[in-house]
Every structure is written in structure tokens, then in C-alpha cells.
């Protein structure tokens, strides 16, 4: 029989997130950040467009954050000052994230966004690499997440916490992003636990359910951030056709390479959009 061991750090997850936010405020000497960005596989290069961070440190130096376990995820936290039409704002950027497939439970997966909200962030931008289920999508194409389907049967919320998810991926923000780049499409993202990629039959099932994109992240973070009152933007970068679409085998290296190739475009998009969100 397996026993679920809860790390004492996460017995009071919001308390731990508050402590983490306080540590970030001390390290940066910035009391409140405005926008959080979580940079997924291959997205790290996109941060170049944001300029030079004012602060950078290893995430694991902050309470509740685990060391990175995936190639292409660097495990750093950065603070940026970003100029906009109505003054400058502060962005808290997480390079890499913890995934459900790491087997550490759900709490460390959502600790980043809980910390961000406790640090003052009103908007949380979640980026990821994903497989394209929708056969009109091309590798290197960014897609705004309009909605999701959770296939992991795991929620970051506990108890009688009946949070409405109708506008989880904020329509207000999607409209702003599309005014920046009218060519952007919207899609439904399926959360797959991994670490295996899906089988072709599973992809067929997902397509039949109405899904366009599949990946191993984002959904728990979106729910946790929304439950704490933040507005959420999700952007998926299609790094490969999903299993069975082309008959090619999938591998992590192609995912990272597609992310790198799209970094400049993704960076320009984020830089253009961030000042308009707050
Ligand atoms: N499936 C799941 N996760 C992924 C994929 C995929 O095809 N590509 C990048 N992340």
C-alpha cells in the first residue's frame, strides 16, 4: 500500500507562498510585483526581449521551490522593470516550473503562481510547449488558450471550494493580445499528466472531445492563480504535431528546438502585451 507523504512545507500552502513572496520582496527590495510570467520548455529565450532583469536568483533558494528536473527549464526567478504608457511595472518571471509528472504532488506545481499572487501580481501569464492536436496548426505557431480539459483528475484546490472557471483564461486579456497580433488563434488545451507522450489513440480521443492542444502543465497553475483572484493568460507554443498526426516519433529535443526558433517572436509578443495588461 502506498502512503501519501505531505511535505510539511505544503501543509499550509498559502502560508508557505506568503513566506516565499516575502523572501522575494526582501531579495529584490520590491514590495509588490504586478505581472507574473511562467516560462515553459523552450520559452526562456523569449525573455531576452524584456531587457536586462534587475534581479535574478535560483528558485530553490526561495521557500517551497524545488530544483529543476527537466532539461530546458532553468529554475531561476527574475524581476524586470517594464516601461509602459502609464508608467513602469514590475514583472516576476519564473524560468521553468514543477510538473505533476515529477511525482512531488500538486502543491509544488502551483507554488509559483501562489507566490506570485502573494507578491502582488494581478495577472499571471502561463506559457508552455505543446503538441498540436488541431491539424491546421503548424510547428512554431503560438496559440492562445481559450479553455482547457483536465485529464489528470488532480486539482490544486481542496475542500468545498467551488470556484467558477467560465472565464478562467481571461477574455479581456485575450482581446488585448489579439489586438497586438491579429493572426493569433485560440484553442482548447488538454492537460496530460505525462511523463509519457500520448498514444495516437489518446490524441484521437482528445480531438473528439474538442481539444486543440496537449501538454503537461499550465492547467493546475491557471486554476490556482484564478482561485486567488488573478487574471490568467495562457499561451501555448506548438512545438510538434501531436502523436499520430504525422506518424513521426516525438522527442523532447524537438520541443526545445522549436521553442528556441520561435523565441524572438514570442518575446516581441510578450513585450508588446505586458504593459497593456495592468
Ligand atoms: N504532448 C504532451 N506534451 C507536450 C507535447 C506533446 O505532444 N509537446 C510538448 N509538450
CB 215 near ligand 1, within 6 Å:
yes
Statement: 8-277 belongs to CATH 3.40.50.720: no
CB 173 near ligand 1, within 6 Å:
no
Inform me whether the pLDDT recorded for 122 exceeds 70. Answer: yes
pLDDT recorded at residue 67: 85
Q: How far apart are CA 278 and CA 25, in angstroms?
A: 20
The reply to whether 102 belongs to the active site is yes
Nearest to 111 by CA among 45, 62, 41: 62
Inform me whether the pLDDT recorded for 6 exceeds 90. Answer: no
pLDDT recorded at residue 7: 76
% of the chain exceeding 90 in pLDDT: 84
Q: What is the pLDDT of residues 72-110, one digit of tens each?
A: 557 999 999 999 877 899 999 999 999 999 999 999 999
Q: What is the pLDDT of residues 10-20, one digit of tens each?
A: 889 999 999 99
Catalytic-role residue among 36, 80, 99, 266? 99
Strand-pair partners of 149:
190
Mean pLDDT of all residues belonging to the chain: 94
pLDDT recorded at residue 29: 96
CA of residue 12 to ligand 1 center, whole Å: 32
CA of residue 216 to ligand 1 center, whole Å: 7
**C-beta of residue 90 within 8 angstroms of C-beta of residue 32:** yes
Give the start-to-end residue ranges of the domains of the chain: 8-277
42-56, 112-126, 243-257: lowest mean pLDDT where? 243-257
Inform me whether the pLDDT recorded for 233 exceeds 90. Answer: yes
Inform me whether the pLDDT recorded for 71 exceeds 70. Answer: no
Inform me whether the pLDDT recorded for 1 exceeds 60. Answer: no
CA 242 to ligand 1: nearest atom: 7
% of the chain exceeding 70 in pLDDT: 96
pLDDT recorded at residue 172: 98
pLDDT recorded at residue 73: 59
Catalytic-role residue among 20, 116, 129, 242? 129
Amino acid at each position: 500500500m502506498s502512503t501519501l507523504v505531505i511535505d510539511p512545507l505544503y501543509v499550509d500552502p498559502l502560508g508557505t507562498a506568503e513566506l516565499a513572496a516575502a523572501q522575494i520582496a526582501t531579495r529584490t527590495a520590491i514590495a509588490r510585483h504586478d505581472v507574473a510570467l511562467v516560462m515553459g520548455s523552450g520559452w526562456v529565450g523569449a525573455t531576452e526581449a524584456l531587457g536586462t532583469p534587475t534581479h535574478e536568483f535560483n528558485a530553490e533558494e526561495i521557500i517551497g521551490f524545488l530544483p529543476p528536473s527537466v532539461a530546458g527549464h532553468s529554475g531561476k526567478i527574475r524581476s524586470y522593470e517594464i516601461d509602459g504608457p502609464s508608467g513602469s511595472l514590475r514583472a516576476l518571471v519564473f524560468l521553468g516550473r514543477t510538473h505533476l509528472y515529477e511525482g512531488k504532488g500538486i502543491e509544488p506545481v502551483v507554488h509559483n503562481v501562489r507566490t506570485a499572487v502573494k507578491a502582488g501580481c494581478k495577472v499571471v501569464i502561463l506559457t508552455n510547449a505543446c503538441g498540436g492536436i488541431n491539424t491546421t496548426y503548424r510547428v512554431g505557431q503560438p496559440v492562445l488558450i481559450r479553455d482547457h480539459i483536465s485529464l489528470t483528475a488532480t486539482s490544486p484546490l481542496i475542500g468545498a471550494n467551488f470556484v467558477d472557471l467560465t472565464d478562467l483564461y481571461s477574455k479581456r486579456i485575450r482581446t488585448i493580445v489579439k489586438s497586438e497580433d491579429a493572426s493569433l488563434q485560440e484553442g482548447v488545451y488538454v492537460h496530460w499528466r505525462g511523463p509519457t507522450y500520448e498514444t495516437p489513440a489518446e490524441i484521437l480521443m482528445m480531438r473528439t472531445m474538442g481539444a486543440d492542444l496537449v501538454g503537461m502543465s499550465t492547467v493546475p497553475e491557471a486554476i490556482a492563480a484564478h482561485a486567488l483572484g488573478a487574471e490568467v493568460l495562457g499561451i501555448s507554443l506548438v512545438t510538434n504535431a501531436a502523436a499520430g498526426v504525422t506518424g513521426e516519433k516525438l522527442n523532447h529535443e524537438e520541443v526545445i528546438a522549436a521553442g528556441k526558433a520561435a523565441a524572438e517572436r514570442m518575446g516581441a509578443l510578450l513585450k508588446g502585451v505586458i504593459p497593456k495588461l495592468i
